[in-house]
Amino acid sequence: MAVGASGLLIPHTAMAVAAPQSEKKLALLNLHTGESLSTTFCSTQGYQAESLAEINQLLRDHRNNKQCTMNIELLELLFDLRRVLDTNKPFHVISAYRSPETNKMLSQKSSGVAKKSLHMQGMAIDIRVPGVDLKDLHAAALALQGGGVGLYSKSNFVHLDVGRVRRWGT
């Protein structure tokens, strides 16, 4: 038995469940800025503030340099996707956070941009992975059931979000 933070006796197995079992790493390349990052966003001690800040900076709206706090569930989904794909290659990021101004401008130009896009809340990302067929990336993302998954074959990317589970695209 171990003594937990509250002074209660907690079995060692319960302590092990509460703490992350391994490091969680992501590699990202922002295709618009050329910036790249390979970082451990979660260690056995928990989420790493400095790493999360670097991720927020890399995934900012490249049109006006505004950024937001990216949703942890989205980062966890990307980590899970990386494991399912069994790759260490960086996610090539087409779009992540979008400021309301950018989203409005894009939605006026294209019917494919949602007016209330989850990109504006840091809950969505558009990606591809070098060496991974787009349909395989799409299938792996769908299998995770982590939120919305859109296939954009003509533009060569997959959209992921942590909203309700749904799918679209060809």
Condensed to tens digits (0 to 9), the pLDDT of residues 31-66 reads: 999 999 999 999 999 999 999 999 999 999 999 999
Do the domain assignments include residue 125? yes
- Beta carbons within 10 angstroms of residue 160's beta carbon: 26
% of the chain surpassing 90 pLDDT:
76
How many domains does the chain fold into? Answer: 1
Helix/strand/coil percent split, the chain, to 5: 35, 25, 40
Euclidean distance between the first and final Cα of the chain, in Å? 54
Do the domain assignments include residue 150? yes
Do the domain assignments include residue 50? yes
CATH of the domain at 31: 3.30.1380.10
Do the domain assignments include residue 12? no
| pLDDT tens track for 81-95 | 999 999 999 999 999
Domain residues for the domain of 77 are: 20-169
